[in-house]
Amino acid sequence: MRSSFFGFNVAVTGLYTAQRNLDVINNNISNVNTPGYSRQQTVQQALRPMNLYDGTGMIGTGVEVTAVKRVRDEYLDTMYWSENVTFGEWDTKRTLLSELEATFNEPSNSGFTQIMDEFFSSLQELSKDPSSEAVRALVKERGVTLAKYFNDMATRFEELQVDINDRIETTVERINSIGVQIQQLNKQIYTVELDGSTANELRDQRTLLIDELSKLINIEVNEVAVGKLPSGRDDVRMTITISGKAFIDHFNLSKLALVQRENKLNEEDVPNLFDIKWEDGNSLKITGGVLRGYLDVRDGNSGLNGSPVYKGIPDYIRKLNQFVQTFAMAFNEGYIDLDNDGVIDPVKNPAEDGKGHVDGYGIGSAADLGIRFFTMLGTENKSISSSDFIGGASDPAAISARYSNITAKNFAVSSDILDNINLIATSDTKDQVGNINNLRELMKLRNNDQMFVEGAPEDFMKSIVTTLGVSSQQAVRISANQEVIVKQVENRRLSESGVSLDEEVANMVKHQQAYSAAAQMINTMAEIYDILINRVGV
Amino acid sequence: MRVTNNMLINNMISNIGKNMSRMETYQKRLATGKKISVPSDDPIVAARALKLRTDVSQIEQYKRNVDDALSWLEITESALNNIGEILQRIRELAVQASNSTMTDDDTEKTAEEVAQLKDQLILISNSTYAGRYIFSGFKTDTKLINDDGTFAITVEDTESIIYEVGVSDSININVLGGQLFNNGGEAVTGNKAYLIDIMDQFVAALKSGDKSAISNSEGDSIIDKIDNQMNNLLAIRASVGARYNRLELTADRLDTNRLNFTKLMSENEDVDQAENIMLLKNEENIYRASLAGGSRIIQTSLVDFLR
């Protein structure tokens, strides 16, 4: 015996199911361009059939939608995150190094080589006319240009360091803000899913946030079952760890904090840079992501003093400092560390004390030995005199030690020369205006390939520029490769979870027709009942 | 593999982006004419570019030095030429004075001429190049010989002015006053210049009528001394001529080097524009094609066919 209106009920479940399906398709189509959205699918199944007890077996009772699930391959998410962290790191380095390259401005007609060329050209001109005030003034100005070039470079590097420091601050704030949002989403997802359903949209939002987080810092994401819920499902909790310590543990968040350094990491650093720590004061090891890129470029000093093993800004400043110290010492004193043992020791190696600016005389009444061409900026950014600079040091070891006070930032032409261009020491004998024996010794320094381990002054600077070029090229290549990999994983995710309009529209037609058919079924049933009720036995 | 609309769009955007960046590369090369603009474009080319720039700039400086040295030597050469003529004239006068019987009037005129020549010699000894005394050694701001024929300064043998005309290649460009005017010796302040002294001796001999002092067979006569000085002058002129020659060769070599290095520089960093334009055109075509393809992908979906 069947119930009278059984047919209606079956048709109605068909209508409802078709509608539900269309709802999901509608939602998919609406979200086709929503970032991070994963397409949803209904899970529909036939209703429990009725037993007929008359030997005919069972009869179907219609259809129902049991769940709406999102289509997502979480393995691809994990893969995306692990590739994105490398991309974040190298893409950052690429950007920063290209800024460094712009600072060096090589090869060009206004970079270091040009300035060095012009300085030595002015010496050459002076050698041809050592008595000319005009040429002496030219030498002074070219010397000032050379010094200013290094001041300018050092200042720009420091500005970049401060700039990166600011960016680190912003990035850490962003990480914390993402942390707070994920923490909130964890609560919502956990609550929603207590009854066994899946929080599709919320999970999509959380994945999108983790996508962003994975670019910023190295993270490891886990969802682990810690027990069973009353409903029988696993009690799944989510953790995000950074280098082994939990950043987010279910509902708990440990934020990152910025601490101003009391002591500089590198002596070349600007003061008060930030260290990144956990809010509870524990130290944090950052091994990847945008933050790592920032830290490497801001602090990298080839691993000296515990700095990152990367050639970052301090490394370039240190090399510029080394250049101006060595160059100034060779030019002023004629000291060249020939055996590279770090000290000037003319007793052991007399050739280490060659002729320099101090060994010559200028012209005019004030001309005397012992004038340094280059010194450094003192208070109020005024360049100091030779005697103040050398501070009474008399033996080579003590004098050469004074040069460690010079940095690229404070490199300057001495006040003696600035005040009196006639003190430029061209002559090796007093009162001989045409004597250029000392100047010739100075000019020879340009091609002195023993001044630096790398060779002559220009070779040293060339090696800095080449090193930077190679580093930058490496960053460009790695970030380009990594970008391809990230894009590929992203494509695989889109392939899995993205909305295909064709597919949705095809399904739409399918369910639309199922709906029409079910409606038609109701018509048919209505006709049957019309016959039964209105015509039979009347 | 399942392909979704956003995949198509993402891929299209990324590919068009890559095309754009390649076009940008070629366009930058077209505009700047250089293969590289930052060292990371090609560190090796960058390093060589730096080296070659230095080389070219040094060569240009050496070329300027050579030109200045040549001018200095030209001035010297013309001074030496004048001195030669003066010596020649004095020798003629000495020969005349020793051969013929001279009236008092003749002697007077000859003495007068010698005095004139002496003044001229002093003037020449104080020749300048760009305001610097060329025979004064390192004391280029001081005259060599006073009007009375004594040296105004001491010029030692070591006071050679040296110009750099190459890496560790230098040339002495001055003639020392002592060597020229003091019979190859050094000039000493207050002492009378030897050349002037000969002229004074000649005038004295003229006035005293001592012909044997002017000419004799013992080799110590005025004429002999003038001959010696002419030989000395010739030797100096030969040396100046040789230096001038060497500088001209150096100038030639520097010109060739400059050409070679400029060529190397160009080969190293300049763009082959013909090739570059071809590549740019090619990229443009690819870019157009990708845009055209993209517009089709974006336009069409199943929706367009459901009516």
Question: Which tens digit of pLDDT belongs to each residue from A34-72?
Answer: 999 999 999 999 999 988 888 888 889 999 999 999 999
Q: Per the CB < 8 Å rule, is A499 touching B53?
A: no
* Chain centre to alpha carbon of residue B64: 4
Closest CA–CA distance from residue A463 to any residue of chain B (Å): 8
Question: In sequence order, which residues have a C-beta less than 8 Å from that of residue A521 and are 6 or more positions away?
Answer: A7, A10, A11, A14
Q: Give the CB-side neighbour count of residue A387, counting CA atoms within 13 A.
A: 3
Neighbours of A222 (CB within 10 A): 11
In whole angstroms, what is the distance from residue A355 CA to residue A369 CA?
A: 12
Q: pLDDT band for A538, please (50, 70, 90 cuts).
A: low
Q: Could you tell me if B123 lies within 8 Å of chain A, comparing CB atoms?
A: no
What is residue B299's predicted lDDT score, i.e. its pLDDT?
A: 65
Which of B38, B44, B66 to mutate against chain A (most A CBs within 10 Å)?
B38
What is residue B208's predicted lDDT score, i.e. its pLDDT?
A: 85
Closest CA–CA distance from residue B4 to any residue of chain A (Å): 4
Q: Is the pLDDT of residue A341 over 70?
A: yes
User: Which chain B residue has the Cα nearest residue A115?
Assistant: B54
Q: Could you tell me if B128 lies within 8 Å of chain A, comparing CB atoms?
A: no
Q: Per the CB < 8 Å rule, is B138 touching A427?
A: yes
Helix (H) or strand (E) holding A242: strand A234-242
Length of chain A: 538
User: Which chain A residue has the Cα nearest residue B173?
Assistant: A128
ipTM above 0.85, yes or no: no
What is residue A372's predicted lDDT score, i.e. its pLDDT?
A: 93
What is residue B99's predicted lDDT score, i.e. its pLDDT?
A: 78
Given B40, B140, B303, which is nearest A472 (Cβ)? B40
What is the bridge-based pairing of β-strands A63-70 and A50-51?
Answer: unpaired
Given B36, B61, B140, which is nearest A434 (Cβ)? B140
Residue B23, classified by CB atoms within 10 Å of its CB into exposed (0-12), middle (13-18) or buried (19+), is middle
- Residue found by looking up tokens 């030669």 in the block: B84
Q: Per the CB < 8 Å rule, is A505 touching B306?
A: yes
Find out whether A264 and A161 touch, Cβ atoms under 8 Å: no
Q: Could you tell me if B305 lies within 8 Å of chain A, comparing CB atoms?
A: no
Hey, which residues 252-281 in chain B have their CB within 8 Å of chain A? 269
Residues of A in contact with B57 (CB under 8 A): 113-114, 117, 121
Average pLDDT of span A155-172: 95
User: Which chain A residue has the Cα nearest residue B41?
Assistant: A473
Tokens of A113: 């080589």
Average pLDDT of span A435-458: 90
Average per-residue pLDDT for chain A:
91
User: Which chain B residue has the Cα nearest residue A497?
Assistant: B4
What is residue A2's predicted lDDT score, i.e. its pLDDT?
A: 62
Q: Could you tell me if B167 lies within 8 Å of chain A, comparing CB atoms?
A: yes
Read out DSSP for chain B? ----HHHHHHHHHHHHHHHHHHHHHHHHHHHH-BS-SSGGG-HHHHHHHHHHHHHHHHHHHHHHHHHHHHHHHHHHHHHHHHHHHHHHHHHHHHHHHHHS---HHHHHHHHHHHHHHHHHHHHHHT-EETTEETTSTT-TTS-SB-TTSBBSS-B-TT---EEEEETTEEEE----HHHHHTTTS-B-TTSBPHHHHHHHHHHHHHHHT-HHHHS-SSS-SHHHHHHHHHHHHHHHHHHHHHHHHHHHHHHHHHHHHHHHHHHHHHHHHB--HHHHHHHHHHHHHHHHHHHHHHHHHHH--GGGG--
Read out DSSP for A118-142? HHHHHHHHHHH-TT-HHHHHHHHHH
Higher pLDDT, A5 or A463: A463
Find out whether A157 and A101 touch, Cβ atoms under 8 Å: no
Residues of B in contact with A472 (CB under 8 A): 38-40
**The residue type at B201:** Q
Find out whether B261 and B63 touch, Cβ atoms under 8 Å: no
In whole angstroms, what is the distance from residue A301 CA to residue B233 CA?
A: 66
Closest CA–CA distance from residue A138 to any residue of chain B (Å): 15
- Among A102-106, A109-113, A319-323, B36-40, the range of highest mean pLDDT: A319-323
Residue B166, classified by CB atoms within 10 Å of its CB into exposed (0-12), middle (13-18) or buried (19+), is middle
Closest CA–CA distance from residue B297 to any residue of chain A (Å): 12
Low-confidence stretches of chain B (pLDDT < 70) are 100, 299-300, 307
Given B10, B61, B130, which is nearest A129 (Cβ)? B130
* Chain centre to alpha carbon of residue A480: 14
What is residue A379's predicted lDDT score, i.e. its pLDDT?
A: 86
Q: Is the pLDDT of residue A394 over 60?
A: yes
CA angle A329, A332, A334 (to 5 degrees): 70
Neighbours of A57 (CB within 10 A): 9
Read out DSSP for A367-429? --S---SEEEB-GGGPBPPHHHHHTT--SHHHHHHHGGG--TTTEEE-HHHHH-GGGS--BSS
What is residue B259's predicted lDDT score, i.e. its pLDDT?
A: 94
Q: Is the pLDDT of residue A1 over 60?
A: no
Q: Model confidence over A224-239: pLDDT tens digits?
A: 888 888 878 888 899 9
